[in-house]
């Protein structure tokens, strides 16, 4: 149930109402699919970049599978397992860092980051380098260091090809409560508001709307709402049913 407050933004309330309605359509909170994310920062980095403007099942998954098949340090079957040591940013660097761009692309793909001529494979290495330089190797460290160094976001986003969608998806996949404002999320918010919104605004609205629902005692997380909207907008089954 939405808690209505005079100081709440009308757009936030509208998005909150739309989220609540969507949850109702799938049968309630108990029917929501809870995204697992990765307990491996290295895989989160790869997924966050290669998911940009690409079909997940037919493009991203095969790329991640190839990476795991080529890298003896991590198996595809372990992607959601909290095995030790975590396949973190340093592990990604150890494997991809010494390789040339051509060699990285042979393992992964030759796809370029949107709006650039830089290969996504190279961007992943650059992201890992910046994170490691800032004391971040594991997905837990990412959340901890970010809280202490908010400037970490901008250090990563200075990398050509890393926009708000890639950055926020990296956090989301690392089990940090953030919305990934990709095309599906932005379109859904625009449809509900009847006006254009940017990536940052779309993410803020969904996060703020989720907070409103939480204040109304609806037990739902930002990442779960993000996943619900993405599945519904992309035509996938949005619930467990």
Which ranges of 111-235 does DSSP label H, i.e. alpha helix?
A: 120-133, 139-148, 152-157, 164-173, 183-193, 199-215, 222-233
What is 46-82 written as a DSSP string?
HHHHHTTTS-IIIIIHHHHHHHHHH-TT--GGGTTS-
Q: pLDDT category, 173, cuts 50, 70, 90?
A: very high
How confident is the model at residue 7, as a pLDDT? 65
Spans of all domains in the chain:
10-35+180-233, 41-173
Neighbours of 182 (CB within 10 A): 23
pLDDT for res 3: 53
Q: What is the mean pLDDT of residues 11-38?
A: 94
The per-residue pLDDT for range 31-87, each reduced to its tens digit, is 999 888 899 999 999 999 999 988 888 999 999 999 999 999 999 999 999 988 999
Mean pLDDT of the chain: 94
* Stronger pLDDT, 20 or 217, i.e. the higher one: 20
Q: What is the pTM of this model?
A: 0.87
Angle of CA points 24, 190, 199, to nearest 5°: 110
* pLDDT score at 88: 97
């Amino acid at each position: 149930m939405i808690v209505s407050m005079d100081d709440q933004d009308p757009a936030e309330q509208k998005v909150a109402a739309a989220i609540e309605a969507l949850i109702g359509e799938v049968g309630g909170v108990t029917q929501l699919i809870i995204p697992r994310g990765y307990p491996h920062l290295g895989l989160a980095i790869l997924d966050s970049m290669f998911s940009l403007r690409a079909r997940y099942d037919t493009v991203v998954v095969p790329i991640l599978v190839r990476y795991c098949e080529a890298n003896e340090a991590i198996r595809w079957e372990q992607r959601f397992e909290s095995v030790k040591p975590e396949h973190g940013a340093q592990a990604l660097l150890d494997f991809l860092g010494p390789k040339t761009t051509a060699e990285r692309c042979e393992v992964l793909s030759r796809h370029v980051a949107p709006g650039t001529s830089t290969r996504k494979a190279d961007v992943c290495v650059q992201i890992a380098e910046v994170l490691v330089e800032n004391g971040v190797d594991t997905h837990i460290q990412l959340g901890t260091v970010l809280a202490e160094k908010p400037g970490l976001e901008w250090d990563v986003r200075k990398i050509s090809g890393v926009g708000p969608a890639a950055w926020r998806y990296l956090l989301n996949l690392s089990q940090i409560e953030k919305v990934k404002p990709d095309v599906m999320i932005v379109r859904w918010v625009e449809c509900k508001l009847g006006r254009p919104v940017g990536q940052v605004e779309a993410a803020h609205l969904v996060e703020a709307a989720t907070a409103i629902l939480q204040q109304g005692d609806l037990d739902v997380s930002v990442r779960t709402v993000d996943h619900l909207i993405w599945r519904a907008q992309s035509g996938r089954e949005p619930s467990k049913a």
